[in-house]
């Protein structure tokens, strides 16, 4: 491994990553570098001093005997200590993350195969998949590739859809990077220990270069040619020569212009985010200090921020465009930043670190970074979606299930006959028995539930696998886990009535939804924007949508931003009883998939029943 240092350090430091908080507070080194823990407790003070004198004399003799090349080596090590330290920690974490064991799961097989899928491995610990987790797993500061290769070349250890990218971090934000590595070492799920022992993080390093260079991977959108591998340009040319109508192989222009936008509050005070319509003004949600909030919108929409105590005092206003979807409220000058508490300053630097990475990510991938840096790659597997109408077959419960890729950008798949007619009807009756209530949407960084009929007009109820579990709901959870190739015990391990089942799960309770005539759910995303202080960065990874009936008109599921050759309105899926739709809200590089935006079109006649099962990565918040 060739290490290239981009920082010159004039003062070395000890390896703070190996220390726990108690060791931070009780520094166990003397001024001359002797470890007090190595001294014999039975020795008296005179013996210790005598040993110290002898050690000092021996050390002086050793120093005098050093050759010139050894002295040069030691000086070189001091200059590069920080870069080597960060590289070792990051690389070891990434290596252990990539080598972490995965559960035995059903795998795709040829339809001609007679072998059955392997059984699922049941862990004793429901969160076994998190034992090797680190938030910084997919970044490194030590170049593992040939320096002669371009940074966009693909890594042999990565998926062909991922390529290497280089990014730079201003050294003024290195304390934020230190905090993330400390959180990895301590497994600090909400950064409370990091913020408590903030003064013990290294701060005395003097780095002469202006930035630190790092490497990670980003997801590459496949070309339109990749989506249609069966396209034959020669045959198309012959058809055109014979006067037959042909279509060039290029992505269709989409009529839908919506996108996701993310607002950042870089101030020590909470604020309210408003959508400013022509005739009304709506609260999108509250944004906590140094946190963010996202929503779906369209070009030209206006948003504003106000203090939580005065909705009339506008402190920030934006008119959004698709070219700039990460917007920052940053009211502080340099003097005000210096007046922040140490904890506030670190949270501010963490957001600035994310902002710097987002700029490099946008340049390489040509898409906005909607996640929070650093972000680990998804732990859960994804079905291959290389081209449109690609097919997979997997065997479960003694039968073959057929999967078809409906879209690659975003990743959308359908599974016919996932539920039987009897299961669909029984699930509807179970939901009606539980009672349906008005559907809500999530608002604000505090994830407040609110009713908004202009966005979502329907009724729903929730069915848990654990509490009041029936053989029906249990069977659906098991089947869904095998479809997603995950340990079924992660899908709501049954517990007693006093402990909510979702606390032991990566899957939410099953939501059954009813749409009456005229009701709909406008274009939205299923992923959530986690707080930067959450080590696991939990968000929705995939959605399994189940059609429970089809005796109605309208109500298609549409992915209006899906990239195809000839569908200007995106991909529309007609509901069919028993069919499942699986789509992913995340990209393989850990970013949110903005193209996963989807909608339920208005029901024209009758009632539409569906069920949603949301699976989180790497666990539910």
In the β-sheet with 557-559, what is the strand arrangement from edge to edge? Answer: 521-524, 598-600, 557-559, 571-573
| pLDDT confidence of residue 314 | 95
CA pair distance 545, 395, nearest whole angstrom: 20
Q: What is the mean pLDDT of the chain?
A: 79
* Residue 342 φ then ψ, to 5°: -60, -40
pLDDT level of residue 231 (50, 70, 90 thresholds):
confident
Q: How far is CA 16 from the centre of its chain?
A: 28
pLDDT at 150 exceeding the cut of 60: no
pLDDT digits (tens, 9 = 90+) for 28-48: 444 444 444 444 444 444 444
pLDDT level of residue 212 (50, 70, 90 thresholds):
confident
CA pair distance 453, 521, nearest whole angstrom: 9
- The 3-state secondary structure of 444-460, one letter per residue: CCCCEEECCCCCECCEE
Q: Which residues contact 553 (CB under 8 A, 6 or more apart)?
A: 603, 604, 605, 606
pLDDT at 151 exceeding the cut of 50: no
Average pLDDT over residues 588-600: 98
| pLDDT confidence of residue 98 | 40
CA pair distance 163, 467, nearest whole angstrom: 44
In the β-sheet with 292-297, what is the strand arrangement from edge to edge? Answer: 292-297, 259-265, 326-329
Average pLDDT over residues 574-579: 98
pLDDT at 443 exceeding the cut of 90: no
pLDDT at 491 exceeding the cut of 80: yes
CA pair distance 497, 611, nearest whole angstrom: 23
The CA–CA distances, whole Å, from 92 to 88, 156, 186 equal 6, 18, 15
pLDDT digits (tens, 9 = 90+) for 86-120: 555 555 544 444 433 333 333 322 333 333 332 32
Of 515, 549, 543, 535, the residue nearest 621 (C-alpha): 535
Structure tokens at 369: 């970074």
| pLDDT confidence of residue 235 | 67
| pLDDT confidence of residue 141 | 86
pTM for the full model? 0.77
Pairwise pLDDT comparison (276 vs 499), residue with the higher score: 276
In the β-sheet with 510-515, what is the strand arrangement from edge to edge? Answer: 391-396, 399-407, 412-415, 580-584, 539-547, 608-617, 510-515, 459-463, 437-438
Q: Tokens 């924007």 label which residue? A: 529
| pLDDT confidence of residue 531 | 96
Strongest mean pLDDT among 197-201, 300-304, 441-445, 458-462: 300-304
CA pair distance 264, 69, nearest whole angstrom: 52
| pLDDT confidence of residue 87 | 53
Pairwise pLDDT comparison (475 vs 30), residue with the higher score: 475
Domains of the chain: 259-321+326-340 (2.60.40.780), 391-617 (2.60.120.620)
| pLDDT confidence of residue 251 | 94
Instruction: Quickly count: other Cβ atoms within 10 Å of residue 434's Cβ.
Output: 13
| pLDDT confidence of residue 142 | 78
| pLDDT confidence of residue 523 | 96
Helix, strand, coil % over all residues of the chain, rounded to 5: 25, 25, 50
| pLDDT confidence of residue 198 | 83
CA pair distance 439, 459, nearest whole angstrom: 5
pLDDT level of residue 147 (50, 70, 90 thresholds):
very low
pLDDT digits (tens, 9 = 90+) for 502-553: 456 799 999 999 999 999 999 999 999 999 999 999 999 999 999 999 999 9
Identify the burial level of 310 via C-beta atoms within 10 angstroms of its C-beta, where 0-12 means exposed, 13-18 middle and 19 or more buried: exposed
| pLDDT confidence of residue 118 | 29
pLDDT at 341 exceeding the cut of 80: yes
Structure tokens at 217: 């991977």
- The 3-state secondary structure of 109-135, one letter per residue: CCCCCCCCCCCCCCCCCCCHHHCCCCC
Average pLDDT over residues 379-390: 96
| pLDDT confidence of residue 453 | 55
Q: Tokens 């006067």 label which residue? A: 243
């Amino acid at each position: 491994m060739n290490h290239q240092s981009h920082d010159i350090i004039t003062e070395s430091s000890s390896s703070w990553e190996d220390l726990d908080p108690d060791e931070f507070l009780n520094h166990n080194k003397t001024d001359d570098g002797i470890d007090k823990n190595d001294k014999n407790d039975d020795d008296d003070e005179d013996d210790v001093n005598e040993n110290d004198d002898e050690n000092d004399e021996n050390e002086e003799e050793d120093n005098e005997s050093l050759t010139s090349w050894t002295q040069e080596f030691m000086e070189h090590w001091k200059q590069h200590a920080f870069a080597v330290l960060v590289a070792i920690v990051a690389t070891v974490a990434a290596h252990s993350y990539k080598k972490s064991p995965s559960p035995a799961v059903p795998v795709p097989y040829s339809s001609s195969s007679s072998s059955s899928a392997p059984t699922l491995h049941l862990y004793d610990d429901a969160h076994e998949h998190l034992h090797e987790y680190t938030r910084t797993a997919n970044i490194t500061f030590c170049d593992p590739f040939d320096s002669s290769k371009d940074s966009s070349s693909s890594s042999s250890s990565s998926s062909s859809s991922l390529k290497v990218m280089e990014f730079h971090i201003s050294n003024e934000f290195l304390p934020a990077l230190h905090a993330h590595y400390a959180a990895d070492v301590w497994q600090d799920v909400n950064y409370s220990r990091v913020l408590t022992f903030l003064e013990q993080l290294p701060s005395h390093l003097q780095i002469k270069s202006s930035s630190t260079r790092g490497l990670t991977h980003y997801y590459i959108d496949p070309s339109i040619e990749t989506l249609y591998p069966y396209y034959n340009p020669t045959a198309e040319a012959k058809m055109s020569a014979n006067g037959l109508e042909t279509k060039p192989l290029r992505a269709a222009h989409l009529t839908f212009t919506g996108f996701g936008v993310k607002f950042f509050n870089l101030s020590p005070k909470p604020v309210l985010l408003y959508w400013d319509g022509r005739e009304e003004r709506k609260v999108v949600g509250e944004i906590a200090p140094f946190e963010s909030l996202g929503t779906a919108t369209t070009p030209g929409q206006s948003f504003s921020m106000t203090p939580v105590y005065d909705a009339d005092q506008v402190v920030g206003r934006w008119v959004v465009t698709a070219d700039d979807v990460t917007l920052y409220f940053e009211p502080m000058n340099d003097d005000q930043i210096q007046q922040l508490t140490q904890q506030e300053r670190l949270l501010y630097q963490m957001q600035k670190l994310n902002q710097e990475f987002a700029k490099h990510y946008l340049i390489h991938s040509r898409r906005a970074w909607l996640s929070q840096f650093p972000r680990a790659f998804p732990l859960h597997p994804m079905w291959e979606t290389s081209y449109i109408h690609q097919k997979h077959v997997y065997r479960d419960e003694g039968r073959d299930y057929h999967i078809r890729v409906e879209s690659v950008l975003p990743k959308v798949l359908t599974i016919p006959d996932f539920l039987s007619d009897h299961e669909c009807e029984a699930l509807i009756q179970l939901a009606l028995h539980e009672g349906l209530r008005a559907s809500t949407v999530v608002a604000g960084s505090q994830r407040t539930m609110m009713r908004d009929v202009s966005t979502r007009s329907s009724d729903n109820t929730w069915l848990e696998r654990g509490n009041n579990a029936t053989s029906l709901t249990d069977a659906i959870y098991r089947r869904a886990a095998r479809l997603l190739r995950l340990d079924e015990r992660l899908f709501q391990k049954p517990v007693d009535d006093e402990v909510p089942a979702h606390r032991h799960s990566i899957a939410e309770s099953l939501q059954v939804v009813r749409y009456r005539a005229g009701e709909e759910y406008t274009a939205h995303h299923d992923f959530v924007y986690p707080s930067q202080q959450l080590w696991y960065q939990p968000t929705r990874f995939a959605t399994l949508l189940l059609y429970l009936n089809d005796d109605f008109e309208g109500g298609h599921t549409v992915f209006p931003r899906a990239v195809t050759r000839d569908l200007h309105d995106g991909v529309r899926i007609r509901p069919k009883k028993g069919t499942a739709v699986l789509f992913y809200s995340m990209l393989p590089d850990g970013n949110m998939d903005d193209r996963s935006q989807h909608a339920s079109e208005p029901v024209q006649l009758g009632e539409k029943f569906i069920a949603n099962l949301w699976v989180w990565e790497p666990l539910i918040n």
